[in-house]
Structure 1
Amino acid sequence: MKTRFKSYAKINTSLEVVNYLKKYKKHKIKSNISILKLSDKIYVTNSKKTKILYIDGNTKKKLKIRNDIISKTINFFDSKYSTKTNLSIKVVKFIPIGYGFGGGSSNASTILKYLYSYHSISDINFNHDAHIIGSDVSLFKDLFPKEIDGISIIKKKIKRRYTWKKIYLLLPSKKNSTKKIFSLYKNKKTVPKKSFIYENLNKSMIKKNIFLAKNDLIICASHYNREMSKILIYLYQNNGLFSKFGMTGTGSGLFIIFKDKFYNKSFFNEFKKLFPLASIEKSEYFS
């Protein structure tokens, strides 16, 4: 019997770098995340031995995934709970890889939740197990927005009512390495001041633009990625169209939320002419 799942993406709607913790060799952050409807499809069936196949959802071609986190999840689970898992898993990837949408962590979370059920084991240790597998895996336990610190603390933001709201993701052809961007950042005193975006926009406009989602990495990221810088400048120039826009997290992805849906067509026609190598993903976020 084949079991099907949706494995959702995430977006960082804000990101503040607090400090660098030598103990963990990581930056402590304060970031709000929301779940996106954009999702991978995962198909699981019983098998004589575990097989994991990744397929590009658009091209239908096989994908080679380095450091496969699903294999890591199964190996961890079998080792901890003395189980023997034999499953055939097919992951159809629609979440763009390498833009910080958490596709791999979401896939791992989906499989981890399934393994508890498959082996009739309580999921009481989900948060602990998920954090060992990967720092973002536990974000996908449910759809609720959360606040994270990048180390261990995850706080759910539970309100009376949440709804799915439209959002557009703009993806430059060049991807940013999270490790590279944080190395550029180092601390707030060494953010590069001669970036392309500083040269083309008034510094006060960056600080005071109320439509821009807060992200402390924006200058470093744009300094590293010229294409992303040019897209950001284009968004600043058209900021009256948006209720909010900004970086999707630590990668080169950007998001926009329109004030009025009637602006969409003309905006995207011009965007495609200016940035022919960039791609656009339409989705919704839970907020």
Structure 2
Amino acid sequence: MKIYSYAKINLVIEILAKLENGYHDLRGIYQNIDLSDEITINESDKDSVMMDAGLVPQEDNIVYTAIKNFKSTYSLKDSFQVVITKNIPFSSGLGGGSSNASSVIMAINNMLKLNIPVEELSLFSSKLGSDLPFFFKGGTCFVEGLGEKVNKLNNLRNQFVYLYNPNIDIKNKTQEMFRSIEPVDYTDGNLTEKIKEKIQENEYLKSEDYYNCFQNKAFKKFPKLIKKYKEMTEKFGNCFLTGAGMTLVSISNQNLSSSDFQRYSTIDRGFDIDN
């Protein structure tokens, strides 16, 4: 079985508060783009995850963890060999690992004809990571809570998405970026509501609509990003950080030529599975 596992960008991501359990109350708008990893999954005599011809350290891989937890939760005896050809950059804020894990869960559900409802799969996946539930609905979604509350919105009008990935490798990046957030960085969710209303009215978004609570933290940590941010803003009319960084994103309804930035398009789903 072959899977195309799509990347995501965050049009808005806000943190409303830090909860007593140490997690954060999130609100945002997530959007899939047609940058994808290609995954092949087959039944096997043992579970394994290969990535670009190399065996992945299992304890560090969210796909392997997802398979093991899924088998344990649903008392499955089957084993699987997963081979991932990576196109989504690692640790980039584009959700590659989460997209891979959620699509593999869905593929196993299809392969074994388990008929587990998507809502149940989404809830299961929320225990593995805050981004995973989004990919089960995909496209353009309003996300809140710990990432487990996902509501489909109107599909964003056909847009071209331009990316700049600085290939900055940060150990435990997401945890570090969340740790950098202070109460002064909290917002009330209105930024998300504003862009949500525009999307539902099929309006084009403006530069001031995009927001990422991690952006200033990223610029402070990596000042070189600021130059590229200004360059992209001048060329495309907007620029913003996605996820916890460090990829910069610009969106345009025009197909602008650019050799400096990768160009993709918005799409309406989190993955495609070829049976």
Taking structure 2 as the reference length, what is the TM-score of the superposition?
A: 0.79
1:50·1:87 contact (CA, 8 Å) conserved in 2?
A: yes
Check 1:128–1:261 CA distance in 2 against 1; reply closer, same or farther (3 A cut). Answer: closer
Partner of 1:128: 123
Match 2:19 to one of 18, 21, 31:
21
The yes-or-no answer on 1:283 pairing with 2:275 is no
1:8·1:39 contact (CA, 8 Å) conserved in 2?
A: yes
Deviation at 1:101, TM superposition (A): 1.0
Distance in structure 2 (CA, Å) of the matches to 1:16 and 1:107: 24
Check 1:179–1:132 CA distance in 2 against 1; reply closer, same or farther (3 A cut). Answer: closer
Partner of 1:256: 250
The yes-or-no answer on 1:146 pairing with 2:141 is yes
The yes-or-no answer on 1:232 pairing with 2:229 is yes
The yes-or-no answer on 1:181 pairing with 2:177 is yes
Check 1:120–1:63 CA distance in 2 against 1; reply closer, same or farther (3 A cut). Answer: closer
Match 1:156 to one of 136, 151, 159:
151
Distance in structure 1 (CA, Å) of the matches to 2:7 and 2:183: 29
Percent of aligned pairs with the same residue? 23
Unpaired stretches in structure 1, ≥5 consecutive residues: 56-60, 191-209, 273-279
1:225·1:252 contact (CA, 8 Å) conserved in 2?
A: no
Q: Counterpart of 1:148 in 2: which secondary structure?
A: strand
Amino acid at match of 2:4: K
2:109·2:116 contact (CA, 8 Å) conserved in 1?
A: yes
Distance in structure 2 (CA, Å) of the matches to 1:89 and 1:9: 18
Q: Counterpart of 1:244 in 2: which secondary structure?
A: coil
Amino acid at match of 2:181: Y
The yes-or-no answer on 1:78 pairing with 2:75 is no
Partner of 1:204: none
Partner of 1:104: 97
Distance in structure 2 (CA, Å) of the matches to 1:90 and 1:230: 37
Distance in structure 2 (CA, Å) of the matches to 1:153 and 1:45: 28
1:243·1:259 contact (CA, 8 Å) conserved in 2?
A: no
Taking structure 1 as the reference length, what is the TM-score of the superposition?
A: 0.76
Unpaired stretches in structure 2, ≥5 consecutive residues: 187-205, 269-275
Match 2:32 to one of 25, 31, 35:
35
Q: Counterpart of 1:282 in 2: which secondary structure?
A: strand
Deviates most, 227-236 or 109-118:
227-236
1:247·1:254 contact (CA, 8 Å) conserved in 2?
A: yes
Q: How many residues align?
A: 243
Check 1:284–1:245 CA distance in 2 against 1; reply closer, same or farther (3 A cut). Answer: same
Check 1:32–1:158 CA distance in 2 against 1; reply closer, same or farther (3 A cut). Answer: closer
Whose radius of gyration is greater, 1 or 2?
1
Q: CA RMSD in A?
A: 2.4
Amino acid at match of 1:179: Q
Q: Deviations over 1:253-287 (max 9, x none)?
A: 1011246445x34xx4xxx5xxxxxxx43211137
Distance in structure 2 (CA, Å) of the matches to 1:222 and 1:79: 42
Deviation at 1:162, TM superposition (A): 5.2
Distance in structure 2 (CA, Å) of the matches to 1:130 and 1:221: 28
